[in-house]
């Protein structure tokens, strides 16, 4: 029998922890679980999202994470189901997120829009079809 393994936390390396935390709190209204100078952890439904200052992140891994060039994107995405996509999309605009792909019905059945946060992390705001 296979051992149980479940994802409980996703951590994003960011340049400015406080700026990133303010962005995610405002856009998704996620409550704060942990807040220290180099790390903030938010409750995102059943999953937690950590925002780790890039240099602190590198201390844990022993290797610096790549900095995203202006206009670039990270090679991952945070896919978020929301109840009120119009409100969330409006908050993304207010908070300076960069639109990547507009709200549309996707091949897999969800309506979704793709955005980039200020650090170039890809965010998908979605509602199940």
Q: How far apart are CA 65 and CA 55, in angstroms?
A: 8
pLDDT digits (tens, 9 = 90+) for 11-65: 999 999 999 999 999 999 999 999 999 999 999 999 999 999 999 888 888 888 8
CA gap 28, 109 in Å, rounded: 22
Give the residue from 44, 18, 41 showing the smallest Cα distance to 29. 44
Spatial CB neighbours of 121, under 8 Å, sequence gap ≥ 6? 12, 14, 73, 74, 76, 77, 78
How do the domains of the chain map onto residue ranges? 9-127
- Give the architecture-level CATH label for domain 9-127: Roll (3.10)
pLDDT(2) > 80: no
Average pLDDT over residues 104-109: 97
Euclidean distance between the first and final Cα of the chain, in Å? 34
């Amino acid at each position: 029998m296979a051992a149980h393994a479940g994802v409980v936390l996703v951590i994003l390396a960011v340049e400015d922890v406080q700026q990133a935390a303010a962005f995610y709190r405002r856009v998704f209204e996620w409550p704060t679980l942990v807040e220290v100078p180099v790390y903030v952890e938010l409750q995102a439904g059943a999953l937690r999202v950590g925002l780790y200052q890039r240099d602190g992140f590198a201390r844990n891994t022993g290797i610096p994470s790549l900095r995203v060039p202006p206009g670039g994107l990270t090679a991952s995405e945070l896919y978020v189901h929301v109840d009120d996509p119009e409100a969330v999309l409006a908050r993304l605009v207010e908070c300076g997120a960069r639109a990547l792909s507009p709200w549309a019905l996707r091949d897999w059945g969800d309506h979704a829009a793709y955005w980039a946060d200020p650090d170039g992390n890809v965010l998908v705001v979605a509602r199940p079809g």
